[in-house]
Amino acid sequence: MDDPYHNNVNQQVMEGGDYTYSQDGYPYQTDYPPQDEDAASDATEGADEDDQMYEGEYQGIPHPDEIKEARRAARMEARRKARLAAQQEEEEENLPEQYETIMEDCGHGRFQWMLFFVLGLALMADGVDGFVVGFVLPSAEKDMCISNADKGLLGLLVYVAMMVGALVWGGLCDKMGRRKCLIYVLTIDLVFSFLSCFAQGYGFFLFLRFCSGFGIGGSIPIVYTYFTEFLQMDKRGEHLSWLCMFWMLGGLYASFTAWGIIPHYGWGFAIGTEFQIHSWRLFILVCLFPALAALIGIIFMPESPRFLLENARHDEAWMILRQVHDTNWKAKGEPERVFTVTNIKTPQTQEDEFIEIQSDTGTAFQRWTVRHMTMLQQVMANVMSLSAPELRLQGLFLVIVWFCLAFSYHGLGVWFPDMIKYMEYEEYESKVRVFHRERVERFHFNFSLVNQIHREGEYIHDKFANIEIKSVKFEDSLFENCYFEDVKSTNTFFENCTIKNTVFYNTDLWQEKFKDCRMENATFLHPKKGCHLNFQEENDIVIYLVSFLGSLAVLPGNIVSALFMDKIGRIRIIGGSMLVSSACTFLLLLSFSQGFVICWQCLFYGVSVAAWNGLEVISVELYPSSKRGTAFGILNGICKFAAIIASFIFAAFIGITKIIPIFLAFAALVCGGLVALKLPETREKILS
């Protein structure tokens, strides 16, 4: 006999899904299928929930109504997220085109040129900072008695600080803002550079220069990212290349001021006997002017509107874009033109919602913690997102090109001046005068001794007064009843000598200058403290001249790359420049004099600068706005890392061979140039 109730149940089983039967023969569903939100439950229809007890309550089995309610909420949340994702995707697709249209409507004029000079000064400050350590080291190492190991540590830590600064500030500018981070960067550099002018101890000086490098290291990623977002597509390549010229101006400024200040030892002053401010410290102080001018200028500049739009700050972005529009068209004599944009797409992320929810809750410390921890998570998420499949390959190519160009450029940048110094030293050594077994008795040395070697000599009742002894070595000699007074020495040593009944009064001859010597009744009165560098001799103007000419040689390459960046494209500029530069390195094999080295240095710098300009332009154009600063910071950090490695490798071969450094530079440039040809062209690419 057919049971209509069981038939109804069987029909529900076939239509609704799989059921399991209890011992009583009643079915219950283990996996409820999706149902409409207004569907009624057959099992509970017409039942009084207050009077009826659910039999699974004490068995831990959820009530069917509870399951339905949870699933209904889950479906609603899923639909809400899907609508939000679709809306955000549409807005992200529309924002780049809309922003490009707005920038074209704003035009290119007075506002961009004001920002150009302000950001150029910030870039110039970075260029100056790259030269400071190299120029002050010859003076600072003597003034603070820095050993060769400590001298190498100073150069290393400054580059490490700049590398860390590029990584940190590049990521932060995508979350905190371009303008705010640039203000922090310049302030840190100014404060710690200023304090380093007065540091008397080497350890404190090292710490302050490290902090200064950490600050200024973030300027390049921020500057290029910031300026790019105020440029329309057909202006980006040319004007970013013009901006690169300020780094060259930084080198010229540092070289010129070092040449004019450091050799003048008398320009310093002293406070007491311990606090000495010599001319090289005044040079560091003068080098702060570009950073100070940039900081003052950036305070009056607005934030990047593209950054504000990416962070859902529509009203602020609209006001800045209107300011750009009105400033440009008023300067062009068309004040009647009205900014017609009324609405701009502003995608909003879940992190923004989380921060907004937490902004008004909890204590001040909790709110601060939430904001900064969330920002740190966003920065790390940005870094991880750069390994996405669509960015992975082009990112790898960029890393290779950056590393190869930086390795060869900075490596040869160390090799050129060191090679010139070595050639000078070889020429100097070839003119050394050797005195063997001379006997000098009751003689008054009132003239300087320069570039001499005295072996097995005897000096009896002699007087050395008011003289300079430079690059002189006394070997296996005897000094008996001699008198040294007011003697200045540079690179002078006494080796395996016997010194009897001799007085040293007011000299800078201390124990380190006597190697394996026998002292018998030797007296040291009023010895001079410190290393007492003779600035007139040790600061050879050739080094400043070489740096000045090297920076000046960049000018033609900068002009050519700026004029042709948008005409022939970024890829041809980068690849062609690196390959031609690799050919220039072979000419270094023909350099047998200082003049030839300087000529090939200028040629190399003039050709390779075009590759730098193209690489910096393409690096800001390839990545989306929300990741642009992070990506550029990583690439610039890799550049500093390559510079550190190259400095050690190239410096190790000075005086040994020049074939290996030249071959390494050639190989790196060829490899980077060929890989650069695989990069996508971006001259007609709208900023994503």
User: How far is CA 500 from each of CA 130, 503, 527, 601, rounded to the nearest angstrom?
Assistant: 49, 9, 18, 52
Give yes or no: residues 357 and 283 share one domain.
Answer: no
567's tokens: 């005409």
Euclidean distance between CA atoms 13 and 77, whole angstroms: 29
Q: What is the pLDDT of residues 269-309, one digit of tens each?
A: 666 555 667 778 888 899 999 999 999 999 999 998 888 88
Contact predicate 257/283, CB 8 Å: yes
Which position has the token pair 């009647």? 336
60 in any annotated domain: no
211 in any annotated domain: yes
pLDDT band with cut points at 50, 70 and 90 for residue 385: low
Contact predicate 671/408, CB 8 Å: no
CB atoms within 10 A of CB 576: 18
Domain boundary (359, 386, 413) is at 386
Which position has the token pair 């907004």? 356
Helix H or strand E segment including 21: strand 19-21
Euclidean distance between CA atoms 184 and 628, whole angstroms: 19
Cβ neighbors of 391 (< 8 A, separation 6 or more) are 385, 623
DSSP 14: H
DSSP 521: S
441 in any annotated domain: yes
Mean of the per-residue pLDDT values for the chain?
78
Q: Which amino acid does the sequence have at 284?
A: I
Give the residue among 128, 124, 127, 147 at the shortest CA–CA distance from 137.
Answer: 147
Question: Is 111 a residue whose pLDDT tops 80?
Answer: yes
CATH of the domain at 475: 2.160.20.80
Question: Is 120 a residue whose pLDDT tops 90?
Answer: yes
**Of 374-378, 392-396, 462-466, which gets the smallest average pLDDT?**
374-378
Q: Are strands 433-436 and 449-455 parallel, antiparallel or unpaired?
A: parallel
Domain boundary (465, 493, 525) is at 525
* Burial of residue 152, with CB atoms counted within 10 A of its CB: 0-12 exposed, 13-18 middle, 19 or more buried: middle
Contact predicate 671/187, CB 8 Å: no
Contact predicate 403/642, CB 8 Å: yes
Euclidean distance between CA atoms 152 and 150, whole angstroms: 5
Give yes or no: residues 135 and 217 share one domain.
Answer: yes
Q: Which amino acid does the sequence have at 664?
A: L
298 in any annotated domain: yes
Helix H or strand E segment including 403: helix 389-430
DSSP 625: T
**308-325 burial by CB neighbour count: b if 16+ within 10 A, else e?**
bbbbebbeebbebbbebb
Question: Is 184 a residue whose pLDDT tops 90?
Answer: yes
CATH of the domain at 162: 1.20.1250.20
SS3 content of the chain, % helix, strand, coil (to 5): 65, 10, 25
User: How far is CA 619 from each of CA 173, 289, 364, 586, 635, rounded to the nearest angstrom?
Assistant: 16, 29, 39, 29, 8
Euclidean distance between CA atoms 159 and 168, whole angstroms: 14
pLDDT band with cut points at 50, 70 and 90 for residue 40: very low
Contact predicate 321/342, CB 8 Å: no
Q: Are strands 523-525 and 19-21 parallel, antiparallel or unpaired?
A: unpaired
Give yes or no: residues 148 and 221 share one domain.
Answer: yes
Domain boundary (467, 492, 525) is at 525
Euclidean distance between CA atoms 550 and 565, whole angstroms: 23
Give yes or no: residues 222 and 358 share one domain.
Answer: no
Euclidean distance between CA atoms 628 and 685, whole angstroms: 14
Alpha-carbon 160 to chain mean position = 9
Euclidean distance between CA atoms 159 and 154, whole angstroms: 9
406's tokens: 């930086």
Give yes or no: residues 202 and 299 share one domain.
Answer: yes
Query: Residue 477: its pLDDT value, please?
Result: 93
Q: What is the pLDDT of residues 578-605, one digit of tens each?
A: 999 988 888 787 777 777 778 888 888 8
Euclidean distance between CA atoms 42 and 32, whole angstroms: 13
Return the axis-axis angle of helices 110-143 and 202-216, rounded to nearest 10°.
160
Quote the number of domains for the chain: 3
Contact predicate 519/571, CB 8 Å: no
Give yes or no: residues 284 and 378 share one domain.
Answer: no
CA-angle at 218, arms to 569 and 311, nearest 5°:
80
451's tokens: 């570039």
Give yes or no: residues 299 and 354 share one domain.
Answer: no
Its domain, for residue 439, covers 431-525
Q: What is the pLDDT of residues 8-23, one digit of tens each?
A: 444 444 444 444 444 4
**Of 264-273, 488-497, 614-623, which gets the smallest average pLDDT?**
264-273
Contact predicate 304/223, CB 8 Å: no
668's tokens: 């790196």
42 in any annotated domain: no
Half-sphere exposure of 551 (CA within 13 A, CB side): 23
Give yes or no: residues 376 and 268 share one domain.
Answer: no
Q: Are strands 478-480 and 498-500 parallel, antiparallel or unpaired?
A: parallel
204 in any annotated domain: yes
Contact predicate 64/41, CB 8 Å: yes
396 in any annotated domain: no
Euclidean distance between CA atoms 328 and 103, whole angstroms: 11
CB atoms within 10 A of CB 513: 17
Give yes or no: residues 359 and 453 share one domain.
Answer: no
Give yes or no: residues 147 and 287 share one domain.
Answer: yes
Query: Residue 77: its pLDDT value, please?
Result: 75
Euclidean distance between CA atoms 564 and 613, whole angstroms: 11
Which residues are 489's β-sheet partners? 469
352 in any annotated domain: yes
pLDDT band with cut points at 50, 70 and 90 for residue 41: very low
160's tokens: 């490490």
Query: Residue 14: its pLDDT value, please?
Result: 43
Give yes or no: residues 171 and 292 share one domain.
Answer: yes
DSSP conformation letters of 495-519: ES-EEES-EEES----GGGEES-EE
Give yes or no: residues 202 and 294 share one domain.
Answer: yes
pLDDT band with cut points at 50, 70 and 90 for residue 390: low
Q: What is the pLDDT of residues 218-233, one digit of tens each?
A: 899 999 999 998 988 8
Percent of the chain with pLDDT over 70: 76
Question: Is 213 a residue whose pLDDT tops 50?
Answer: yes
Query: Residue 181: its pLDDT value, please?
Result: 92
3-class secondary structure for 442-480? Answer: CCEECCCEEEEEEECCEEECCEEEEEEEEEEEEECCEEE
User: How far is CA 451 from each of CA 318, 337, 469, rounded to the nearest angstrom?
Assistant: 71, 75, 9
DSSP 49: T
Q: What is the pLDDT of residues 630-687, one digit of tens each?
A: 888 888 889 999 988 988 888 888 778 888 888 998 999 999 999 988 888 877 777 7
Query: Residue 368: its pLDDT value, please?
Result: 58
Contact predicate 319/99, CB 8 Å: no
